[in-house]
Structure formats: C-alpha cells, structure tokens
Amino acid sequence: MRAKRTRFAGRGRSGSRRWALAIAALVGAVALVPALGGQASGVTAKKISAWIPNWDQARAYNSFMANADLYDEALPYWYEMQSPSSITAYGGAEDPTVIAGIRSTGVRLVPTIANAFDGARVSSMLSTAAGRTAHVQALVDLVQTKGYDGIDVDYENMASTDRTNFTSFVTQLASALHANGKVLDVAVYAKTSEPGTWAGPQSEDYAALGSVVDRLQLMTYDYHWDTSAAGPIAPLSWVSQVAAFAASKVSPSKVELGMNLYGYDWVGSNGQSKMWDEMESARTASGAARQWDATAAEPWFTYTAAGQSHTAYYGDAQSVSARLAVVDKYNLAGAAFWRLGGEDPAVWPTVRSHWTSTVSAPSAPRNLRVTGTAGSVTLSWTPPTAGPVTSYAVCRGSRGAETCMWTSSATSFTDTSAVLKTVYYYRVAAVNAAGQGLYSGEVSAKRTS
C-alpha cells in the first residue's frame, strides 16, 4: 500500500541504424507509447497505467486483462529495495501467468520497486557514488534478466537532503536503462511549488527528474489520510493545482496524473483503507445514502456500526471522470491508477468513453533541415501532410543514445546545448490529441564554433 501520512497533504500512497539501440529509449517530449504512432480514429487517445498489487494480484490481473486496450503500461508491485545491491521479490512476484498475460496484450511490463517506506535505506544508498552505481547495476540486471520493459521506482519518505543525490541516481539509472532500450518511471509526491512543504516532496526535483525519466507519476491522493481527520482523498482543486505545477516544470506528455480507486473509512482520526467494493458493502449493509461532495468531486457517506460513527470518502467512476478532465486541461500523458482489484467496474467504460478519439495521429514532418551555426544547431521542417498538429517532439542522438527532451510549437527549433565538434543526429515527430505520429528521417549536423 501507499505511504502512511503523518502531517502534510498529498503524502503518497497508502494504499534505424543509429537509432537501433535508442528507439525504445526516448526520454522526452512525448510519452513512450509505441501504440500511439499512426493511431487510427475511434480508439482511445490517451493511455493509462495501473498498479497490480501483489497482495490482491488475481483480482487486479483480471481487471487489467479485461481492459488491456486502455493501457500502455502494467505496473506489478513486485520488488523491494533492501540495500544498494540487494533486491527482494514480494510474494506472488514474477508469476508466469501474469507475465505471459501482460506480454500477450502488447502492453509494456514495468514492475515497481519500493522501499517499504523506509527512507533511511534509500538515503544510505544515495549517499555515495558507489552505492548509487551498485543499485543502478542491480536494477538494470533485474530488468535485463527478466526481460522487463523497464522499472518503476517508488521510493518514499526520503529526507529533504537526499534531493541532489536522488536526482543523480535517477539520471544515472535512466541513462543505463535507455542504453538497453528500457524505460524508467518514477512516482513522486504531489506538490504545488518547489521545493515542497515537507521532506518527501522536497527530496524530489520535478524538473530535473522529468528531464530524464519516461514517466513521472504524480501521487495526487492522500490529501486526507489514515490518521488525519476524515475528508476527501484528492480534492479536485488541489489535484488541478498539482497538475498545473507539474506541467510547468516537466513536458506534460511525460506526466501521468495519479488517481485513487480506494478510500478511507474513518472512526475519528483512525482511518482504514478500503477499495470501492468494501466501501459499497459497508454502505449498503448500513443503509447509508451515497453523498457527493461537489467541491472535492468525491463520493462519501456516514454510518454507525458497533456504536461507532464512521465517515468514508473514496474513489469511483464519477470521481475518476472529474479527474480525467484535469488530464485533458493540462494535456498530460494520461492517468496512473492506484490500484487495481476491487475498484468500481464503471471506471473502465468511463475512461473508454471519455478518451475515445475521432482524430488520427499526424503523419511524419517533412523536409527536415538541420544546420550547425556558431554556438548552436538550428532545425526547421515542413508540417505533415495528414492530421492536425498541436506540437512537435524534437529528438537528438549521439553515440548510440537518444534524448527526446524538447517540445516545439513552431516548425523550427534551436539546440543551444549541442557540444562543439560533436556530430548529432536529429529527427522530429508531430503530436496531437490522438498521440505522437511517425518520425521524420534523421539528419545530422554539428556546431561550427
């Protein structure tokens, strides 16, 4: 389950030749969603991910398989970091049926590694270059040995002083994974400004992390938590503020908005995490009426059991629908759901109907021209012949690695970070509401001085 709260809102979870090695290692301006390229009309324009918890794996896996058309990533919650070089597997991890099933759908299999909310063990690993390197190697070895498509890092309760070292670690891990054609996702605490109001979010630099990872997953839930007073899990105005801030620091097409499919049932300030099915069972058994908090955009109800007064807030299809609109407002990559297993079954038709697109992804930009100048490299191109365009993703490759960290709203771009005497290979793709289109042909250039 996600990290338990102690004080502050949004704590975390409680509950081609040169491109051959780099094509699956895009780091940037568009989310890594292979299925979106050249996408036809009448299919979902956004994609989602969701965590498959090991302790409720059968139900969660069945939910995923029933709605696999909606996904681009599956995130089995399978591993725990013990030390820089030691990783243990949770019970139910590496289930061959789950692995085979996910792979049969064509969805990326990106297991999660957590730290059991023990920030000290992460701090210890981060404190030395040797520790960071050892952990990077352990993670890359795991992904390579098991044939996964990448790894999802969910390290929580770190110290604010870990911020620089955590960025260094994630940067090193991203580089190592991308060199092997793998992806990196990182789950981060919700915040509305830098560095954040408490240690957890202060340890995470949105802009720095977002420049190297493939997905930044916002844990936009637990505004109220298990030991707080009862209240909404993810008030809509707060969720929107977090999304707006993240989109101002990171390419929005890399950001997934976290959505809760669980809730808390409180007696006083003692809350028990429950999934939708458990909430509905308690509500119907007590005869309580479902209420709707229009401001927070969340359902709630109260009831009495064994002489105790209960207040429950939770996520369902209606609350998810309100948050899908936030994804649209800030043009985010999609949604990341915590978690599958016992969720409101109406969530999935809601997602499917909300994100059905009649727009086709654009064709490739044409006539890419790249010129080295003093201090920079300039690019220009002609718009694609098919499909509307909202922006362009600009990618640069060198020495077997590629970075796609720039977005341009115009048909031109200036790369001011090009290193003198280094030959770079550039390509460009157009993006619209249906996703990323095909890439242009590659063109090389280098700075002249």
For the purposes of burial, counting CB atoms within 10 Å of the CB of 117, is it exposed (0-12), middle (13-18) or buried (19 or more)? middle
165 within some domain: yes
Mean pLDDT over 315-328 rounds to 96
Distances from the Cα of 279 to the Cα of 46, 269, 275, 286, 417, angstroms: 29, 17, 6, 11, 53
Instruction: Specify whether 376 is located in the same domain as 333.
Output: no
Instruction: Specify whether 176 is located in the same domain as 207.
Output: yes
- Looking at residue 448, its pLDDT comes to 86
Angle between helices 163-179 and 129-146 (to 10 degrees): 40
Alpha-carbon distance of 72 to 127, in angstroms, equals 34
Confidence of residue 406 (pLDDT cuts 50, 70, 90): confident
Whether 197 shows a pLDDT value over 90: the answer reads: yes
32 within some domain: no
Residue 37: closest CA among 410, 327, 387, 349: 387
SS3 readout for 99-137:
HHHHHHHCCEECCEEECCCCHHHHHHHHCCHHHHHHHHH
Instruction: Specify whether 329 is located in the same domain as 348.
Output: yes
Contact at 8 Å (CB) between 169 and 136?
A: yes
Instruction: Specify whether 233 is located in the same domain as 89.
Output: yes
Mean pLDDT over 185-207 rounds to 98
End-to-end alpha carbon distance in the chain: 54
Whether 13 shows a pLDDT value over 80: the answer reads: no
Residue whose entry in the numeric block shows the structure tokens 């696999």: 68
Whether 84 shows a pLDDT value over 50: the answer reads: yes
CATH number of the domain encompassing residue 98? 3.20.20.80
Mean pLDDT over 109-115 rounds to 98
- Looking at residue 46, its pLDDT comes to 80
185 within some domain: yes
Instruction: Specify whether 93 is located in the same domain as 223.
Output: yes
Instruction: Specify whether 210 is located in the same domain as 234.
Output: yes
Last residue of a domain, one of 356, 379, 405: 356
21 within some domain: no
- Looking at residue 444, its pLDDT comes to 93
Mean pLDDT over 409-438 rounds to 87
322 within some domain: yes
Confidence of residue 362 (pLDDT cuts 50, 70, 90): confident
426 within some domain: yes
Angle at 73 between CA 72 and CA 79, to 5 degrees: 175
Alpha-carbon distance of 272 to 264, in angstroms, equals 5
> Structural domain of residue 108, as residue ranges?
44-356
Instruction: Specify whether 213 is located in the same domain as 232.
Output: yes
Mean pLDDT over 185-201 rounds to 98
CATH number of the domain encompassing residue 390? 2.60.40.10
Mean pLDDT over 335-343 rounds to 98
Q: How many domains does the chain have?
A: 2
Last residue of a domain, one of 324, 356, 388: 356
Confidence of residue 359 (pLDDT cuts 50, 70, 90): low
Mean pLDDT over 60-76 rounds to 95
Confidence of residue 360 (pLDDT cuts 50, 70, 90): confident
Task: Name the average pLDDT for the chain.
Answer: 89
Instruction: Specify whether 76 is located in the same domain as 167.
Output: yes
Q: What are the residues whose beta carbons fall under 8 Å from the beta carbon of 170, sequence distance 6 or more?
A: 153, 184, 186, 209, 212, 213
Range with lowest mean pLDDT among 15-19, 250-254, 407-411: 15-19
Structure tokens at 324: 């899908």
Whether 35 shows a pLDDT value over 80: the answer reads: no
Range with lowest mean pLDDT among 33-42, 208-217, 218-227: 33-42
Residue 199: closest CA among 1, 8, 14: 8
Residue whose entry in the numeric block shows the structure tokens 């690019």: 379
100 within some domain: yes
Instruction: Specify whether 199 is located in the same domain as 265.
Output: yes
Confidence of residue 20 (pLDDT cuts 50, 70, 90): very low
320 within some domain: yes
Instruction: Specify whether 292 is located in the same domain as 432.
Output: no
Whether 93 shows a pLDDT value over 90: the answer reads: yes
Tell me the longest C-alpha to C-alpha distance in the chain: 79
For the purposes of burial, counting CB atoms within 10 Å of the CB of 82, is it exposed (0-12), middle (13-18) or buried (19 or more)? middle
pLDDT per position as a tens digit, 149-181? 999 999 999 999 999 999 999 999 999 999 999
Instruction: Specify whether 270 is located in the same domain as 166.
Output: yes
Last residue of a domain, one of 356, 380, 403: 356
Instruction: Specify whether 58 is located in the same domain as 184.
Output: yes
